[in-house]
Amino acid sequence: MATDLYDLTVSVFIRGLRNLSAILEKGAAHAEERGIDPLTLTQARLIGDMAPLTGQVQYASDSAKGAVTRIGGLDPVAMPDTEQSFADLQERIGKTIAFLESVPRERIDGREDAEVILKGPRGEFRFTGRSHALGFALPNFYFHVSTAYALLRQAGVPLSKIDYLGGI
């Protein structure tokens, strides 16, 4: 039985974003309970040249919506990267999920072999829909979700692997 590309992308991104939202809720609650300035957490970095928590959430959002627009041949969905607070980040996640839920299954399924071109500062990268999803978009998405988790965990937020996985 074949798995449809929609199930490997849109459904997976939505679940990951919901898990990220729950992780951020725990981060906000931790800041409030401990009297920590929330900006201390939202601006936390693992190392100086990596994006802070806000950037990790923005990149996870961009990875999800970018993959779906590229694979589905849809117009890009711009979201300014202005989030600073936990509430801002939750709003960003909500908008991203709403966009993903609006994408019809038929715009993604059947596009496994469609050409996907990713243009960046280092040039063009060519993929099929399948190779873009499995070899680039999903690993990139999970890198940023994992980094967001790690930032909050490092700051003492009581998170576990189940929080990351979203329950089983």
Residue 38 is part of a domain; what is its CATH number? 1.20.120.450
- Consecutive H or E run containing 143: helix 138-154
Only one residue has tokens 């201390």, namely 40
Supply the pLDDT for residue 125: 93
What is the C-alpha to C-alpha distance for residues 33 and 31, in angstroms, rounded to an integer? 6
Kindly report each contact of residues 153-157 with a partner whose C-beta sits within 8 Å and lies 24 or more positions away, as own/partner.
Answer: 154/44, 154/46, 155/27, 155/30, 155/36, 155/40, 155/41, 155/44, 156/30, 156/34, 157/23, 157/26, 157/27, 157/30, 157/41
Q: In total, how many domains does the chain have?
A: 1
Supply the pLDDT for residue 1: 44
Supply the pLDDT for residue 21: 98
Given a cut of 90, is residue 3 above it in pLDDT?
no
pLDDT tens sequence across 31-89: 999 999 999 999 999 999 999 999 999 999 999 999 999 999 999 999 999 999 999 99
- Consecutive H or E run containing 127: strand 123-128
The token pair that represents 52 in the structure block: 């802070």
pTM of the model as a whole = 0.95
Structural domain for 99, as ranges = 5-165
By the 8 A CB rule, do 68 and 103 touch?
yes
